[in-house]
Amino acid sequence: MSRPFLFGAFIFILILTLPARQFIAKTLNMAKLYFHYSTMNAGKSTVLLQAAHNYIENAMQVYLLTARFDNRAGDGRIASRIGIGKEADTFDVEDDLFTKIEARLNDGPCACIFVDEAQFLTEDHVWQLARAVDDLKVPIMCYGLRVDFRGKLFPGSAALLALSDEMREVRTICHCGKKATMVIRQDETGRALTEGEQVQIGGNEVYVSLCRRHWREATGS
By residue count, the chain amounts to 221
pLDDT of res. 12: 44
| Beta bridge mates, 87 | 77
Taking the C-alpha atoms of residue 69 and residue 95, their distance in angstroms, rounded to an integer, is 13
pTM as predicted? 0.80
> Average pLDDT per run of 10 along the chain, which is 221 residues long?
49 49 54 94 89 94 88 72 85 95 96 95 97 97 92 94 96 93 84 70 72 92 76
List the domain boundaries for the chain: 31-171
- Spot the catalytic one: 57, 94, 117, 205: 117
Give yes or no: 197 in active site: no
In contact, 121 and 1? CB cutoff 8 Å? no
In angstroms, the Cα distances linking 89 to 97, 144, 167 are 11, 16, 24
Specify the CATH superfamily of domain 31-171. P-loop containing nucleotide triphosphate hydrolases (3.40.50.300)
